[in-house]
Structure 1
Amino acid sequence: MVDVEGFAADGYDAVRRVFQRLVDDGSETGAGLSVWREGREVVRLSGGWSDAGRSRPWRDDTLVQPYSLSKAFVTLAALAAVRQGAPALDEPISGYWGEYGVRGKDRTTLRHVLTHQAGQPRFAAEAAGIDLLDDGALRESLARAAPEYAPGTSLGEHALTYGHLVDGILRAGAGTTLGEMFHDVVRPALGLDAWFGVPDDALGRVADLEYANPEWPRRLHAAPWLETPDGALDVARVNSRAWRQSVFGACNLHTTATSMAAFFSRLTSEDGPVRELLGPELHAELLASQVTDFDEVFGTRITWTLGFVRDQGKIAKGGIGGSVAWWSLRHHHACAYLTRRLDDHSRAAEIAAALGDDLAVVGED
């Protein structure tokens, strides 16, 4: 048995028991769990290991890549730029990113991108030979490519393209980059222990990802949208220093469970840091339901806000591999479950059930 470190306040014993069992029975090999309520952390648990060699125990400051949970912070960077004056949510991107306005994309807007309706849920086949970390070439491939459907007419999470689209928009429309907006504006405003491009002095805190099953990448419903460019599901590649210190906005934020739960605990607050960062109008836009339709990448009907999945019970974002964070609209607590063992969302779903939450439809299993 592996020790679980941390604490659970009175009333959260069931959550601790579930987490301990997941570690004890091998369902979990390394994870962090945090729950916040009424402005304080009521659960902080760490279990398993942070490295493949199982020599470094998972700690409460362990950083891990949660895949598509990263997208929520791409959204915040985009909206922070909108508040500063450029770009606008509903003006054609082609007005400032001229190269993008070809092959049916001339009326695509930032809102289309942020709600996964821009028609580019994956990189085109022509991008197959581009290196995973050649962000300039990947942005250019998106600008050249035809959309898979007319923007605004269908829905599919922009699985690997989301960050590159926003980065291109910010470069052309605001004279900045996704990385700069996140690190210079979003990260300090929200007090996040989260990184696009992990600094040298934090690399020792990063957890190694591993497959629960070697067949896991091929079993994903979303696999066809994650094939190009090659490497986003290759643990040898994503565990490399080069990847960890790059900016691949769709999926490579590195963060802690405590930081994510703290963020979600303040997400809807009318006097919280997210509203202060964005202002009342954009904060309301961020949280409001924007589109409800069948999402081809998720394989189910879903409601998107500008950056999150929303239903009657929660505002959430998860990623392939099992990491997820959410704000419970019913119970007014926030939870983050971040894992290095890439599998489905059943572990987080068990934690959610112990909290009285339903975690249906949070990531691209």
Structure 2
Amino acid sequence: MSAGELVGDGFDAVRHVFHGLVGDGREAGAGLSVWRNGHEAVQLSAGWADTERRRPWRSDTLVQPYSVSKPFAALAALVAVRNGALELDEPVARHWSGYERRGKERTTLRHVLTHQAGQPRFPAAAAELDLLDDAALRESLAAAAPEYVPGTSLGEHALTYGHLIDGILRAGAGTSLGEMFNDVVRPALGIDAWFGVPTHALHRVAHLEYGEQDWPQQLPAAPWLETPTGVMDMELMNSGAWRQAVFGGVNLHASATAVAKFFSQLTSVDGPVRDLLGPQLHTEYLASQVTGHDEVFGTTVTWTLGFVRDRGKIAKGGLGGSAAWWSLKHNHACAFLTRHLDDFSRAADIASALGDDLTVVGED
């Protein structure tokens, strides 16, 4: 075992698979963490954190896991529900003036959190907007017609999820997604994860890069990622401006240990997630809310208020191959976070070594 590695009894297979990903060229830099019985049983790092291959991946390396961000963004909204500032089933427009336009007058926070709000992508009118102009992007959503009547269909709100939550929080709770997460959620959970990386932690952020140069064109989710331009631009994704901005649908920056720790505490009746939300809202957060054909996934999915759930797991995956899950079958949590943007086969191999199945974790 290499210095600094943590591999508990019974986890040799997952160590072998993880390091094999670098050995066979499928991985350039990643972190892996597995938690069981309240403790980290596996902590592994492999490859490099930078494109120049000068900075080894470490246990505290932060990386953007794309849509693995969404359950964390959802927590910011649910804390406002806990506080009484918002309700899951009241119309968003009661708080967000102007959002009721063009058929959205009955859209609720529950619709948003379960990807039923009818806004799975930014409207064509947002094509020329700056990806960092969050106020203009929020307004584009308020002004746009939904692609379907809210509550009648579903499709992962790939880039819009965080902006919808942020708009609702600003209007109804007098705070932003970033403020609620960093000032309330993050301290309550005690995890190394950020919406808007502080200056003192920027040196720990890994550079994202494509596995293959034509990889973005091969993505099934590409139509939902085109507007506004930039989310597939590695120069922007690796910039300090982006890392310190809040784009709640995709740009959490976290370590593998932090994400796995969070997933390990999800179902605990005396854990920090339940303490943060209270018993009733905690149950709502994890419960299956809607099952149907997800227009973005292209398959049948069950959504909770932020996660994908099936009989074996509560999970979320992100564009490029990062994935995290709580195994309902084996009572362990795992996070595989990568900077090497490619398919989900690497995370699937890790899951298989743990006896888990990552079928449909959320591929954007």
- Which residue matches 2:312? 313
User: In structure 1, what is the Cα distance between the partners aligned to 2:93 and 2:75?
Assistant: 21
* % identical aligned pairs: 72
- Which residue matches 2:323? 324
- Which residue matches 1:338? 337
- Which residue matches 1:235? 234
- Which residue matches 1:354? 353
User: In structure 2, what is the Cα distance between the partners aligned to 1:7 and 1:16?
Assistant: 9
What SS does structure 1 have at the residue aligned with 2:102? coil
Q: Deviations over 1:199-247 (max 9, x none)?
A: 1110000000000011111111100000001000111110000000000
User: In structure 2, what is the Cα distance between the partners aligned to 1:36 and 1:175?
Assistant: 36
- Which residue matches 2:6? 7
User: In structure 2, what is the Cα distance between the partners aligned to 1:21 and 1:29?
Assistant: 11
- Which residue matches 2:100? 101
Residues 321 and 345, structure 1, Cα contact 8 Å, conserved in 2: yes
What SS does structure 1 have at the residue aligned with 2:98? helix
Residues 309 and 362, structure 1, Cα contact 8 Å, conserved in 2: yes
What SS does structure 2 have at the residue aligned with 1:34? strand
User: In structure 2, what is the Cα distance between the partners aligned to 1:129 and 1:249?
Assistant: 20
- Which residue matches 1:258? 257
- Which residue matches 2:58? 59
What SS does structure 2 have at the residue aligned with 1:158? coil
* Stretches of structure 2 lacking an aligned partner (at least 5 in a row): none
User: In structure 1, what is the Cα distance between the partners aligned to 2:193 and 2:228?
Assistant: 24
User: In structure 2, what is the Cα distance between the partners aligned to 1:314 and 1:364?
Assistant: 16
Using the TM superposition, give the Cα deviation of residue 264 of structure 1 relative to its aligned residue in structure 2, in angstroms. 0.5
- Which residue matches 1:213? 212
**Structure 2 residue 150 is the aligned partner of structure 1 residue 151:** yes
User: In structure 2, what is the Cα distance between the partners aligned to 1:171 and 1:12?
Assistant: 45
Using the TM superposition, give the Cα deviation of residue 363 of structure 1 relative to its aligned residue in structure 2, in angstroms. 2.2
Q: Which amino acid aligns with 1:300?
A: T
- Which residue matches 2:270? 271
Q: Deviations over 1:43-73 (max 9, x none)?
A: 0000000000000000000000000000111
Q: How does 1:268-307 map to 2 (within 5 A)?
A: 268-307=267-306
Residues 292 and 301, structure 1, Cα contact 8 Å, conserved in 2: yes
- Which residue matches 1:40? 39
Residues 18 and 354, structure 1, Cα contact 8 Å, conserved in 2: yes
Residues 220 and 364, structure 1, Cα contact 8 Å, conserved in 2: no
Q: Deviations over 1:57-95 (max 9, x none)?
A: 000000000000001111000000110011110000111
- Which residue matches 1:111? 110
Aligned length: 363
Residues 4 and 20, structure 1, Cα contact 8 Å, conserved in 2: no
**Structure 2 residue 182 is the aligned partner of structure 1 residue 165:** no
User: In structure 2, what is the Cα distance between the partners aligned to 1:91 and 1:288?
Assistant: 19
* Stretches of structure 1 lacking an aligned partner (at least 5 in a row): none
Q: Which amino acid aligns with 1:18?
A: V
User: In structure 2, what is the Cα distance between the partners aligned to 1:250 and 1:234?
Assistant: 16
Q: How does 1:126-141 map to 2 (within 5 A)?
A: 126-141=125-140
User: In structure 2, what is the Cα distance between the partners aligned to 1:229 and 1:299?
Assistant: 22
What SS does structure 2 have at the residue aligned with 1:33? strand
Using the TM superposition, give the Cα deviation of residue 5 of structure 1 relative to its aligned residue in structure 2, in angstroms. 5.2
What SS does structure 1 have at the residue aligned with 2:49? coil
- Which residue matches 1:203? 202
- Which residue matches 1:245? 244
Using the TM superposition, give the Cα deviation of residue 4 of structure 1 relative to its aligned residue in structure 2, in angstroms. 8.5
What SS does structure 1 have at the residue aligned with 2:297? coil
Distance 1:141 1:4, change over 3 A: farther
Instruction: Calculate the TM-score normalised by the size of structure 2.
Output: 0.99
- Which residue matches 2:70? 71
User: In structure 1, what is the Cα distance between the partners aligned to 2:59 and 2:298?
Assistant: 34
Instruction: Calculate the TM-score normalised by the size of structure 1.
Output: 0.98
- Which residue matches 2:28? 29
Q: Deviations over 1:163-201 (max 9, x none)?
A: 000000001111111011001110000001001110111
User: In structure 2, what is the Cα distance between the partners aligned to 1:196 and 1:266?
Assistant: 20
Q: Which amino acid aligns with 2:47?
A: G
What SS does structure 2 have at the residue aligned with 1:316? strand
Using the TM superposition, give the Cα deviation of residue 346 of structure 1 relative to its aligned residue in structure 2, in angstroms. 0.4
